[in-house]
Structure formats: structure tokens, C-alpha cells
Structure 1
Amino acid sequence: MATRRIIIVLIGLGIIVGSIFIMGALVSMKKDPEKKTQAEIKRYVKTEPVRYSNINTEIAAYGRVRTAESLDLIAEVSGRMFAGPFPLKEGQRFKRGDLLFRIDDTESKLNLQSQKSNFLRDLAAILPDLKIDFSENYTQWNSYFESIDLNKSLPELPAYKSQKEKTFLATKSIFSNYYSIKSAEANLRKYHFYAPFDGNISLVNLQSGSYVNPGNNIGRIIRSGRLELKVAVETKDIGWIQKGTNVKVNAENSDVPWKGIITRIGEFVNQNTQSIDVFIAIEPNGNALYDGQYLKSAIPAKSIERGMIIPRNAIFNENEVFVLQDTVLKVRRINIHKLNPETVVFSGLEEGLDLVTEPLVNAHNNMKAYKLEEKKDINLEKKVVDTQTVKSSNP
């Protein structure tokens, strides 16, 4: 019985030892896995050599066209208002000298006629005295009396020839009556409003037939062919432009330009835009241009000597850029002369340096990078894998 147990134990130990031996043999036959080198990431950046030249800058500004001359139609007298030969409507065109509107002047005309009649009576009363006491001037006064027409403007008074004659005329109220009539004639002209220029009606507040009082605003007229563009220029750019500069003006999505010239530059900041208003007179070129139209202007600014233009997004930290030196990125500071919406004019770098002209993400000083060759189809980030494998030997 004991012998049998010993035999069973020995057989079990033999099986275990055999299994360990076989396992070791199999393990020794297994090859080590091939080891690959870690992929190297090369970063390519777009560069441009630093080259300076004289740069003519310009300022882009936007604004709306408006008439350079507009006029409010204000009633100076009272009465019933009527339109002229054409209706008093918005958009109505007119020529210089056309009657725009009139106010009923019947009563004023009759009063003026009455004043002239009284003046004639006064002159007729003093003619005999003039013939006796101032015979040397009687002929002129008599001719003046005969020349007066009640339906025409009163002629200018003859000149008196002595202080005595002057006193005589003053005591007879000749001077006061004459100037009262001239004042009434001037007032009568206010009942008719004639166009002072070619243009059109832009606003009508009162219709024909309305009763108006002095000070009532009847409407507004604008002058044709004389338009200007009001643009807003930032305060930092206002020192770059000058009065009298020729400007190119064009509409959005249009290649048809107008010529303009800067006529006025504001001296205060516009509270709505926080900028300074610049006014550009537009020269007509045969193409339609309307009051209120939105236009873009390119204003030539001062010239910058020895400068270079790069994209604005290539700058970081206000005045820093990357340059590429022997496949290493270096941070450099620049001198900024002018900021544009998409570009910047700068100096301060040595000519010949490779300047990075694109924005870089997660880049830093002394970072390794490579110059992007535009003639080759290279990805900005390309993985180059070493195909060599390294085998580890079994000890």
C-alpha cells in the first residue's frame, strides 16, 4: 500500500517537472516583437523674407451719400399756400427759377397799392413848392412822379441837391413813406418761393391748400449733382489724411468708381460712432448716385519709408512675431507703423530674416519647425516614420 502511494506521487512530480520543462522550451522558441521608433512630427510654417520698401498707405472708410446742399422751405408770411405749376410732392424735379409754391397775397397787394397811391398824392402836393423853392431840381422830381407805375416796383428817389431840400422832403414824410413802400414790396416777394437751384423735393410737410403761418416748415429740397460722402475715420487714423486729397469712391460689389476730394475734416469726435467725420465731395461721372446710398472710400494716407506689410493675424502679444532661424522658431518684437483691418505695416527686423506670416497655435520660442515650400504638396504637419526596426536579442 505504501509502495503504491510512493509510485503515484513520483508520477505526479514527473508530470509537473515535464510540464515546466516543455513550457520553458516553448518560451525560448518565441521571438521578441519588433520595436518601431516613435513617429517624428515635423511642423511646417509659411515664411517670407523681410524686405523693406516705401509703402503708400490708404484708409478704408464707409459712409452714406448725402446732398451737399439742402434747403428747408420755411414760410415767412401767413396765408393760404398753393403749389406752383407742378405738384408739391416728394421726388418732384425742378429747375432753377421754377415757382415751388405761393401764398395768397391778395390782401398784401392791395395794401401796397394803397401805400403807393398815398405816396403819389404826397408827391403831387409838394411839386408846386419844389418848382418855386428848388427849381434847379424840379425837373427830376416831376419826371420821377410821372415814372411811377402802381403795378411796378417803386423807382429810386432822385438825389437832393441841398440840405434845405433834404429838410423839406423829410418834413413832408417823403423818405419815410418811400421806405415803407420798399419794405412792403420786399415782404410781398416772400409770398412766392422760386427754386434757387436745380434739384428735387425730398420732403413735404404741408399739402397745397393748407393755411401756413410764419415759421411753418413746408418741406425740404435738395440740390442735384452736388453730393458728398460723410465717412467715419478712427481717431488714430485721422492724422494720416489731409484736406484736398483725391479719393476713390465705389459702391459695394461694384467696379464703377467715382472720384472724390476731401473738403472738410471734423475737429470733434462723433458721439454715435466715437470717430471723426470726414466729408468727401463726389464728382459726377454719368452713373446714377442717390442721396442715402452706402459707399466705400479708399483714402490715400501718408507714405511710410522702409516698411513691410504682413497679415495682421501673424502678430501676437501686440507687437511680437516668429522668425525661423535654422529650423528653430524665435520670438522677435517689431515696430508697428500702421494697423489695417487685415494687414499691418511694420519695421524693426533685420532684412533677410525668414518671417512667419501665418498664425501659429501652441507655438513657443525655440520650437523646432521647417520652412514650407509652396511648390511642393506638403502638409503643415507631416509624420515621417523610420522604417528601420530594432530587434532586441534574447539574453
Structure 2
Amino acid sequence: MRKIVSLISGIVLILLAYYISNEIASSKKTSKVVMNELSKAVYVEKVKNISNPISIKANGKLTSSNRIEIYSEVQGIFKLGGKKFKPGQSYTKGETMIDIDGNEFFASVKATKSELLNLITSVLPDLKLDYKNNFEVWKDYVKEFDINQPITNLPKPLTEKEKFFITGRGIYSLYYKVKNLEERILKYKIEAPFDGSLINTSITQGTLVKFGQKLGEYIDPSMFELEVSVPSQYSNFLKIGKIINYNSVFNKNHTGEIIRINNSIDKSTQTISVFVEFKSKDLKEGMYCEVDIPMKSEDNSYSISRSLLIDNDKIFYVKDDLTLDLITVQTIFFDKKNVIVKGIPDGINILSKQISGAYPGMQVKITN
């Protein structure tokens, strides 16, 4: 009887043990399924450190490299005819932009030339008697003298005595007075100093132009300067001749170069002024520009989105057991969207997109 009871008890214990082991296994499977269902889906990227170029963004407005303000040095009526003196009007180098009526002044110049001619003629008899070796030269000068043409150089005296004689008669002083008046004649016509166009004007044809009056502004529309401010800590990386690229609002790339660097630091902003020159007829005066100025390259570094940075020096990465953890990094350079960091080992998976509520030890699953 005891043997039968012992046998039955043993069978019951075996069945009970089998049942308990099945329940435990089932519980583990359920727990694993629940854990997988609760794991957060994340996007990651595998780190490969490289040499990252560092550049800073700077902006400003374009101004023409060749810009002149036009002023009148004489007085008279602005003649009608030719191209209209209006903003946007283009001229080629040497083309007449402004023609001022100077007939009254021109007549006074001819009168002074006639006075000079009369003076030279009056001394010819003395030259023939006392300086006959040079008489024929002066005589030919008088014959070829034309008051309607620019005055030619006076004959050179052969002796010092002849020079004193010519000086004493006032010929040299009157000659240089004529030369001065002829130079003033040139100011009645203003020619374009280079190919360009007017950007503003203050007079119209037919009006009276006064001495010293500003007439307009003229620019070369193919050469421009861009003045930008750069933090002074990057001054050692700036060099004359460094190439700068600019993508205009017309989606056209323009290449310029640094032509000047101001050695003075602005006390209020702690920046220095850098001047970049662009040569392009597609650019416009006053155009707003934002350029990237290359500084240097940082070796063995990695570029990430600024949104991934935690407390300014940490980022999340995914461990082998698919849990999150933080790694401390060294920040090298910030721009508007990204930050260049160092200290991330090659080959580890870091989050490529930030997730809400992330914490060390959080269970995740990689979806990409």
C-alpha cells in the first residue's frame, strides 16, 4: 500500500514540476514580447570620423568697386542732344556724358590767344636784330599759329639772354595763361572714365549747371565689393586672395576673392572687416549677399545636427544590447544647423534623429 502511495505522489510531483516549468517559460516569452512591443523605434547612423571643413557665414550688401560722383567745375547750360542723362543710362569709356555750353568762355580764350599772337609778333623785329639765329623759328611759329587750335609749345631759346628777353616781354606768362584756359575748356565736356552706367542724377538737359554742383553718380556694373564682418578669433585664417563662393538669388554661382582685410578690430562687436571682390555683370548694386568664408579643416571629427547635442557636450548612442547611453564629445564649431564634434569612436551607432523622452538605459529598436 505504501508503495502505491509513494508512486502516486511521485507522479503528482513530476506533473506539478512540468506544469510550473511551462508556466515560467511562457512568462519569459510574454515578457520578451511585451518588452519588444515597448521598445522605441530609432534612426541611427554609423560614425566614420573624417576631416571636416570649417567655414563661417557672413553677409552684407554689394557696392560697386568703381564708383564716382560727378561734379561740375564750370558754369553753363547743359546742352540738349545725345543720350539722356538719366539713371540706368549706359556709356562706354570716353563717350561724352555731359556737354555744357561754354561759347562765351571759348570766345575769351580766343581773345587771349590773339593777345599772345600780337605780343610775339611785336617782338619779331628785336629777335631779328639781336637773336637772328633763332629768328626764323619764331617767325614760323607765328605763321602756324591758329587761334582755333590748341596752342603748341613755344620755341626754345638758344641762349640765356634770349630767354630773359622773352620772359621780360611777358610772353611766357601769357602763354601759360592760355594753356590754363585750354585745360578749363576740357571741363565743359565730361566723358565716361570707364564702361558703366548712371545710378542717379540731379540735373536734366537744358538746365543751368553751376560751378561745384553735383550732377550724378556713375558706377562700373561689372565689379563689386562686399564688406563683411568676421569674428576676430578667426583673423589668423584670413588671407588676401582667398577664394570665396557666393550663390546669388538667381541660383548662379559667383566666385570672388578677398582683396583687403582691415587690421583694426571693432571695439563693440569684436569683429574685423573683410572686403571681397566679385566680377560679374549678373550682380547688382545693393544686392544682399551671404557667403561662406572657409577657415580651416578639422581632422578626425564628425558633423551632427545641433538638435542631437545634450547639455552642449553629450550625445546618445545605441549600445550592443539595444539600449541608449550617453557619450561625452568635444564641440569644435557651430553653424546654424550642425556642429562639428570630436571624441566619438568610429563604428558606433549614434542617433541620427532626436527622440522625445530619451534616457540612458532606454530600450530601443533600430528601424533604418
Deviation, structure 1 residue 115: 1.1
Query: Does 1:289 find its partner at 2:259?
Result: no
Partner of 2:61: 64
| Contact kept? 2:318, 2:349, Cα under 8 Å | yes
Letter of the 2:306 counterpart: R
Whole-angstrom CA distance in 2 between matches of 1:272 and 1:148: 67
Deviation, structure 1 residue 178: 1.1
Percent identity between matched residues is 26
Say which of 245, 254, 275 aligns to 1:248: 245
Partner of 1:313: 307
Partner of 1:388: none
Per-residue CA deviation, residues 6-32 of structure 1 (Å, 9 max, x unaligned), is xxxxxxxxxxxxxxxxxxxxxxxxxxx
Letter of the 1:309 counterpart: S
Say which of 246, 258, 281 aligns to 1:262: 258
SS in 2 for 1:82: coil
Structure-2 change in CA distance of 1:168 and 1:78 (3 Å)? same
Structure-2 change in CA distance of 1:171 and 1:343 (3 Å)? same
Partner of 1:148: 145
Whole-angstrom CA distance in 1 between matches of 2:158 and 2:319: 101
TM-score (norm 2): 0.79
Deviation, structure 1 residue 228: 3.8
Letter of the 2:137 counterpart: Q
| Contact kept? 1:81, 1:210, Cα under 8 Å | yes
Per-residue CA deviation, residues 84-115 of structure 1 (Å, 9 max, x unaligned), is 51111111222222211122212211211111
Letter of the 1:261 counterpart: E
Letter of the 2:92 counterpart: K
Q: Count residues in correspondence.
A: 335
Say which of 122, 128, 151 aligns to 2:125: 128
Query: Does 1:209 find its partner at 2:203?
Result: no
Structure-2 change in CA distance of 1:304 and 1:146 (3 Å)? farther
Partner of 1:345: 340
Say which of 88, 93, 116 aligns to 1:91: 88
Deviation, structure 1 residue 77: 1.5
Deviation, structure 1 residue 354: 3.8
Whole-angstrom CA distance in 2 between matches of 1:282 and 1:101: 30
- How is 1:188-203 mapped onto 2 (pairs within 5 angstroms)? 188-203=185-200
Whichever structure has more helix as a proportion of its residues is: 2
Letter of the 1:101 counterpart: I
Between structure 1 and structure 2, the one with the greater Rg is 1
Deviation, structure 1 residue 350: 3.6
Structure 1 unaligned spans of 5+: 1-35, 376-395
| Contact kept? 1:47, 1:354, Cα under 8 Å | yes
Whole-angstrom CA distance in 1 between matches of 2:299 and 2:362: 32
Say which of 326, 329, 340 aligns to 2:325: 329
Structure-2 change in CA distance of 1:369 and 1:137 (3 Å)? farther
| Contact kept? 1:95, 1:197, Cα under 8 Å | yes
Per-residue CA deviation, residues 259-299 of structure 1 (Å, 9 max, x unaligned), is 32332334456799985444333333xx7433233344344
Query: Does 1:300 find its partner at 2:294?
Result: yes
Letter of the 2:258 counterpart: I
SS in 1 for 2:222: coil
Cα RMSD for the two superposed structures: 3.1
SS in 2 for 1:346: strand
**More displaced 10-residue stretch of structure 1: 62-71 or 121-130:** 62-71
Partner of 1:100: 97
Whole-angstrom CA distance in 2 between matches of 1:213 and 1:297: 44
